[in-house]
Structure 1
Amino acid sequence: MNSRSHPGIIFVLLSLLVLQLGWIGLQHISNTNWYQRMVSKEDSVSEIENDLGSPSTFVDASVRTIMQQAVQKQNSRVKSLDVFRGLCIVLMIFVNYGGGKYPIFEHATWNGMTIADVVFPSFMWIMGLSMALSMRSQLRSGVTRKKLALRCVQRGLKLILIGLMLNSNGNNNFATLRIPGVLQRLGVAYIIVSVMEAFRMKLQSCQQPHRLAWLQDVADGWLQWILVLVLIAIHSALTFALPVPDCPTGYLGPGGIQDQGNFKNCTGGAAGYIDRVLFGPNHLYQHPTVRKFYYTEVPFDPEGLIGNLTAVLLVYLGVQAGRIMLTYSNPWSRILRWIIWGGIAGIIGGILCNFSKEFGVIPVNKNLFSLSFVLVNSCLDFFLLSFLYFIVDVKHVWSGSPFYFTGMNSLLVYILHGFTGNMLPWRWQPLGNSHMEVLFMDAWAASLWVIISYFWFRNNFFFTV
């Protein structure tokens, strides 16, 4: 990217600032008495009914009424969760549409991390947080644990099926259909974590008057943490001990021409080998980012099978953030604990990668969904949540608009943006070879989904699986 490209992103940021100021003005108008008399709208659903960005259909009408009354009574809505989720999905769309051709909005070739590599893990993390709030409310409202677990499995399977449908867009040949994918990873992690919580989550959590009350949030999920750590141990054992034919044991490199081409067919080490054996080479992603730079020859899928194990840890760290919210009512207690958890995750992740891009026992790697990658992302998520919670829910400095509306329908927005990627009015064939036009087109396409989400919200239209 040359220096002439910088004014483009500055122009877009200034435009967004102007739009935000205009939005604040419209918000003030909508809060006036004369406008309220003209327009009436039902209260939107609470985040406790929402763990993927839309109201849950799992709750019966009577239970829903009880839940809404409880929320109104306790004034427990946390708006920053929807803002966080909406911010993630808008950035994800901007990245998928091309990110204005800026390298920072492109996925890292192998090791390392860019903004593009942060948004999807952050969405998974916030899913875990919302899951904790949603499931606690349903359990306390009379839904049996067995019924809740069954519904969670059904929901996860629906995500996997939708992911396979999206993969078939442009390739409906069963012989070459890609099996792994983004929603597939969401679905697998969702099933594992939600079933654990369905059977083990406590119905009531409060600060107990004893010396270890400050660890109550950890004590409430000690068994779940053991199970998650077991999965991480399995992941580490497979990664570093599984023999891979013609490859060094524990290899984490991209293969291809790296290391003078000595391990050209070892892309991803054990992770890539397991996927090629279980799914078959034809059912994996055929154009990984490493192919362009390392001239790899074997297919490699960044949403491969054993990466789901570290994805479970990522989601469960989100659940831990949610459990903090459920256990401690004081805003500063929540923020302090989130910052501590973020610091611990960041330090451990930094130690694993030696606080570098290429080195350490486990480098930061989105393609492998490495342990250090998950921990570093969780660190950022804990910190970002603390900031958003402070300015949106504690100090009310920002209403969260317009990302709040996208966060309420994030799953539907994600699904539909994939089908409209090359359609008007989202995108068009560039009229020239101008970087500014490409940047404007990508920013406009993402912004259009924000506008659509707002109209869905105003008409009480929410999508769920």
Structure 2
Amino acid sequence: MVPYRLIKVNEKVMEDLMDKKMEEMEEGYSDKGIIGHQNIQQTTDDLNLNAGREEVPSSEKRRLASLDVFRGLTVALMVIVDDVGGIVPAINHSPWDGVTLADFVMPLFLFIVGLSLALAYKRVPCRIAATKTAVLRAIKLFVLGLVLQGGYFHGINQLTFGVDIQHIRLMGTLQRIAIAYLVSALCEIWIKGNDNVVKSELSLFKRYKFQLGIAVLLTVVHTSLLYGLHVPSWEYQIQSGNTSSAAAGKTIIRVNCGVRGDTGPACNAVGMIDHMILGTQHMYARPIYSRTKQCSIKSPNYGPLPTDAPSWCQAPFEPEGLLSSIMAIVSCILGLHYGHVIVHIKDHKKRIMQWTIPALVLLVMGFIMHFSGIHFNKALYSSSYTCLTAGAAGILFTGIYVLVDVYGYKRLTFVLEWMGKHSLMIYILAACNLLPMFLQGFYWKKPENNILRLIGIGS
């Protein structure tokens, strides 16, 4: 008869071997790029997320397909809302309060960046080296966003390029992701428990309690500033006519505020901080709220101003501004938690439970805040919007994980998985208008005789 203690030892050995095998399978995931896994020459290839982790031979690696599928689905949604949103306003960004399909794209990106960071920084042999690498990658991504979204490539219809430095847009999608990535990476490198063994779900939260504390602190800071700062009256300039003179041809418009806690388009603290720090000349010149009923006779589409349009309708507004980026960091940190579950919990059922319960809690919190007066608002990145989108991202990722990695239905998601592996390249080509510019750049005799006009686009 085999001794009871020997049986327990053998069971422990088998459990350790299974855990090690699962780790080898999941070590293969490395995010080659802030947004996705790709090989786009040395510059963007350096924007990977596997700094500070120990490499496993490629023969022993197998990627978690659900991460690539999730990222690919996010890219697909981005392309759809960018190209179809102008035709179907119901899926375009909400003009102000409320959410549409397009309003989920940015939080989904941030969520998967955070999740990927948990895997990329699972082991950090040298925190100093990992920090330097993370800072460098964030700078590269920020600069890439500055070039792509600062206005340099915006002269597509005129086949021109270049931007006046005095009016370059400083913030944007990639810049926001760079900020959230950097802060979350530093949290993962420096602020977590030293015990690598997580024996229960409770010990998982204890190990990363300070990261969750930072998320709560950032939420309190954002909400306090949004509702506590006094917003004075302010002014902005608009171009009158076609003149490019620095003085002539400009009209100064005054927006009367003098309020506190306003979350409308004109007098909110998010816009005030961006006006003061970035300057209106470095903000997005086509504000989302210009599609509201007050500012467009074709609302919810862009259109001519009504005769009684308020003074703020033409004012610049930065949708990826400084104060709202605080909550973008929170979205990324919430994604970190889902990555921690992958790192420390190997059982499928336990993973699904650890993902589903927090996601449902976040969804409920989001709706409670929304109906209590803290409305869903992407432009302000309200706390209710953060909870709603993070909860939706958690539910979506869990569903994809069950479909792809548990039941193995990978043929159905092959295209999305491929898009996820090359998402940064797709983003550059599609969302930043490089592909349309490339197609429109080839013409016959006159710029108007280009490929896009030939197939009926832009005619």
TM-score of the pair, normalised by structure 2: 0.73
Q: Cα gap change, 1:407/1:124 in structure 2, threshold over 3 Å: closer, same or farther?
A: same
Quick one: distance in 1 between partners of 2:385 and 2:367?
9
Q: Cα gap change, 1:106/1:429 in structure 2, threshold over 3 Å: closer, same or farther?
A: farther
The C-alpha deviation readout for 1:149-198, integer Å capped at 9, x for no partner, is 11111111111111110123235101111111111100111111101111
The C-alpha deviation readout for 1:169-228, integer Å capped at 9, x for no partner, is 2351011111111111001111111011111245763332xxxx2222211111122222
Matched, 1:173 2:164: yes
Matched, 1:131 2:155: no
Q: Does the Cα contact within 8 Å between 2:30 and 2:119 map onto a contact in 1?
A: yes
Quick one: distance in 2 between partners of 1:367 and 1:225?
24
Shift in Å, 1:89? 0.9
Quick one: distance in 2 between partners of 1:333 and 1:230?
28
Matching of residues 317-336 of structure 1 within 5 Å: 317-336=334-353
Q: Does the Cα contact within 8 Å between 1:104 and 1:114 map onto a contact in 2?
A: yes
Which residue pairs with 1:24 in the alignment? none
Which residue pairs with 1:221 in the alignment? 208
Which residue pairs with 2:190 in the alignment? 199
The C-alpha deviation readout for 1:311-336, integer Å capped at 9, x for no partner, is 01100110000011111100111111
Quick one: distance in 2 between partners of 1:332 and 1:287?
47
Q: Cα gap change, 1:378/1:115 in structure 2, threshold over 3 Å: closer, same or farther?
A: same
The C-alpha deviation readout for 1:277-329, integer Å capped at 9, x for no partner, is 11111110111121133331321111110111100110011000001111110
Q: Cα gap change, 1:334/1:343 in structure 2, threshold over 3 Å: closer, same or farther?
A: same
Q: Does the Cα contact within 8 Å between 1:136 and 1:201 map onto a contact in 2?
A: no
Matched, 1:402 2:393: no
Q: Does the Cα contact within 8 Å between 1:205 and 1:326 map onto a contact in 2?
A: no
Q: Does the Cα contact within 8 Å between 2:192 and 2:210 map onto a contact in 1?
A: no
Which residue pairs with 1:313 in the alignment? 330
- The gaps in structure 1 that reach 5 residues or longer are 1-42, 256-265, 355-359, 439-465
Q: Does the Cα contact within 8 Å between 1:207 and 1:216 map onto a contact in 2?
A: yes
Q: Cα gap change, 1:129/1:308 in structure 2, threshold over 3 Å: closer, same or farther?
A: same
Which residue pairs with 2:140 in the alignment? 158
- Give the counterpart letter for 1:311 in structure 2: A
Moved over 4 A (4+): 55-61
Which residue pairs with 2:280 in the alignment? 281
Quick one: distance in 1 between partners of 2:280 and 2:47?
38
Quick one: distance in 2 between partners of 1:178 and 1:403?
31
Which residue pairs with 2:390 in the alignment? 378
2:129 corresponds, among 135, 142, 147, to 147
Q: Cα gap change, 1:283/1:112 in structure 2, threshold over 3 Å: closer, same or farther?
A: same
Which residue pairs with 2:452 in the alignment? 428
Quick one: distance in 1 between partners of 2:98 and 2:230?
26
Give the SS at the match of 2:230.
coil
2:369 corresponds, among 338, 352, 356, to 352
Matching of residues 183-262 of structure 1 within 5 Å: 183-202=174-193, 205-208=196-199, 213-245=200-232, 246-255=257-266
The C-alpha deviation readout for 1:360-417, integer Å capped at 9, x for no partner, is 3310011111111111011111111111000100001234311111111211221222
Shift in Å, 1:49? 4.9
- Give the helix-richer structure, 1 or 2: 1
Matched, 1:116 2:102: yes
Q: Cα gap change, 1:394/1:162 in structure 2, threshold over 3 Å: closer, same or farther?
A: same
Shift in Å, 1:77? 3.0
Which residue pairs with 2:310 in the alignment? none
Quick one: distance in 2 between partners of 1:121 and 1:392?
22
Quick one: distance in 2 between partners of 1:60 and 1:46?
12
Shift in Å, 1:104? 3.0
- The gaps in structure 2 that reach 5 residues or longer are 1-24, 39-44, 155-161, 233-256, 296-312, 442-450
Give the SS at the match of 1:251.
coil
Quick one: distance in 2 between partners of 1:252 and 1:108?
15
Which residue pairs with 2:22 in the alignment? none
Give the SS at the match of 2:121.
helix
Q: Cα gap change, 1:58/1:373 in structure 2, threshold over 3 Å: closer, same or farther?
A: closer
Which residue pairs with 1:366 in the alignment? 378
Quick one: distance in 1 between partners of 2:359 and 2:27?
29
Q: Does the Cα contact within 8 Å between 1:239 and 1:271 map onto a contact in 2?
A: yes
Q: Does the Cα contact within 8 Å between 1:176 and 1:283 map onto a contact in 2?
A: yes
Rg comparison, structure with higher value: 2
Q: Cα gap change, 1:58/1:111 in structure 2, threshold over 3 Å: closer, same or farther?
A: closer
Matched, 1:53 2:36: yes
Q: Cα gap change, 1:242/1:430 in structure 2, threshold over 3 Å: closer, same or farther?
A: farther
Query: How many residues are aligned here?
Result: 365
Quick one: distance in 1 between partners of 2:276 and 2:46?
38
Which residue pairs with 2:402 in the alignment? 390
Quick one: distance in 1 between partners of 2:128 and 2:400?
35
Matching of residues 48-127 of structure 1 within 5 Å: 48-50=30-32, 52-54=35-37, 57=46, 67-69=55-57, 77-99=63-85, 101-127=87-113
Q: Cα gap change, 1:232/1:44 in structure 2, threshold over 3 Å: closer, same or farther?
A: closer
Q: Does the Cα contact within 8 Å between 2:27 and 2:119 map onto a contact in 1?
A: no
Q: Cα gap change, 1:203/1:93 in structure 2, threshold over 3 Å: closer, same or farther?
A: farther
- Give the counterpart letter for 2:35 in structure 1: L
CA RMSD of aligned residues (A): 3.0
- Give the counterpart letter for 1:301 in structure 2: E
Task: Give me the identity figure in percent.
Answer: 28
